[in-house]
Amino acid sequence: MSSIHNGMDATALTDATWIKSRRSGPTGGNCVEVAFLSGGEIAMRNSRHPGGPALIFTRSEWEAFLGGARDGEFGLPALA
């Protein structure tokens, strides 16, 4: 059984190579980072808190999220 789970400290993912988007701002700290883990999972963390909790996704969950983002399903709601 894997010891990798949602909410674990991101620093515990010792084999992770974290990637930040080129779209991230240079000073604002408004970034998330992802890492593709050796077991096939994808981890995500807040770049401002690199030792904080990590979200862990399966490959199919990650692909579903990316597909929804590409289709515009996760845009901000219109202001009333």
Task: Read off the pTM.
Answer: 0.85
pLDDT at 28 over 70: no
pLDDT score, position 24: 77
Share above pLDDT 90 across residues of the chain, in percent, rounded to a whole number: 64
Q: Mark 45-80 as b/e (b = at least 16 C-beta within 10 Å).
A: bbeeeeeeebbbbeeeebeeeeeeeeeeeeeeeeee
Share above pLDDT 70 across residues of the chain, in percent, rounded to a whole number: 91
Helices (H) and strands (E) in the chain, counts: 1, 4
